[in-house]
Structures are given as C-alpha cells and as structure tokens.
C-alpha cells in the first residue's frame, strides 16, 4: 500500500489532485488506523494510465531503486518488464489476498456452524435422556409389580378379583 505522497508521485500527479479524485470516487483507497490515505499501486496504475510511472522511470528520476515485487513467501519476484505486467502482477496479488480473506471468513463461519450444531446435538441428547426417564417412570406407574403380604403381585390379585 502506498501513502498519499508516494501514490501521487507514482501516479505523476499532485497530492491534492489525488486526494480530490479519491474523495470523488475516481480512485479507491483505504484509511489506516490513524486516518491516513492508503492506495494500492494497481489502483493507481488503473486510474492514471497516462501518467503512471513504472519502477524504471521512478529509478531514473531519483537515482535509487524502488523495492521490487515480493511474492507471498518473501522471495524476490521477477521484475515486470512493462506497465501491463506490473498491473497484472499487482491485480493478481490483490486477488490472492482477497481469496485468502474469503477462505479465512469461510473457515470462521464453518467453525461457528460446527459449534452451533454441537450445542444442538447436546440439547437433543439431554432431551432424549429426559424422555427416556419419563417413559421409565410412566412404565413403573402402569406396571404394578409390588409384592403383597400374600406373595402375589397386584396384577395377580386383580386378575383373581376380576374372574
């Protein structure tokens, strides 16, 4: 990400023009935690193709090299030969970052859903245990298996009485 000053330099325009264009929505930007503008180099190349300065052009102006493209593993990448190559690389890097963010979001959502399902399974298990206890208590009430002084169960006494 480039600061307002650096982005304006890369775009070949003034800081105030870049700031006005950003506020007008002509170029996208983010703001860091301190509220400073930050621009993606690919966005600068897209918005200002006529005045955008490649790394070689910037190097020849300042006499010192700009940082080269770095891939996600920290290895120096191949230097882009043209503005189109640099733009393509920057866009691909931005897409990779977007996909990583999306993958992380999906992983978090999956974890949350798993926790919800585990809680629901726990609740249903407790509900089933309670239903089984209730059924057992109901069965005990319906089946009178108590022994009496005569040694016969209540059911046997009832059958004798009913006949």
Question: What is the Cα–Cα distance from 144 to 153, expressed in whole angstroms?
Answer: 7
Query: Domain 2-102: which topology?
Result: Multidrug-efflux Transporter Regulator; Chain: A; Domain 2 (1.10.1660)
pLDDT for 75 equals 47
Phi (first) and psi of residue 109, to 5 degrees: -60, -40
pLDDT for 128 equals 96
Question: What is the Cα–Cα distance from 112 to 95, expressed in whole angstroms?
Answer: 26
What pLDDT tens digit does each residue of the chain (163 aa) get?
Answer: 888 888 888 888 888 888 888 888 888 888 888 888 888 888 888 888 777 776 666 666 655 554 544 444 444 455 556 778 888 888 898 889 889 889 998 999 999 999 999 999 999 999 999 999 998 888 877 776 555 556 666 666 667 777 6
pTM exceeding the 0.85 threshold for the entire prediction: no
């Amino acid at each position: 990400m480039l600061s307002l000053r650096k982005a304006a330099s890369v775009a070949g325009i003034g800081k105030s023009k870049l700031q006005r264009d950003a506020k007008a929505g002509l170029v996208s930007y983010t703001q860091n935690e301190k509220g400073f503008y930050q621009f993606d180099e690919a966005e600068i190349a897209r918005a200002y193709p006529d005045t955008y300065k490649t790394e070689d052009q910037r190097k020849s102006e300042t006499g010192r090299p700009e940082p080269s493209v770095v891939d996600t593993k920290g290895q120096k990448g191949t230097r882009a030969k043209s503005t189109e190559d640099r733009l393509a690389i920057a866009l691909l890097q931005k897409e990779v970052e977007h996909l990583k963010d999306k993958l992380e979001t999906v992983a978090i959502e999956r974890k949350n859903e798993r926790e919800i399902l585990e809680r629901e399974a726990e609740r249903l298990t407790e509900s089933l245990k309670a239903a089984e206890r209730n059924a057992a208590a109901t069965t005990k009430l319906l089946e009178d298996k108590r022994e009496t002084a005569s040694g016969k169960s209540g059911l046997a006494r009832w059958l004798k009485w009913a006949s």
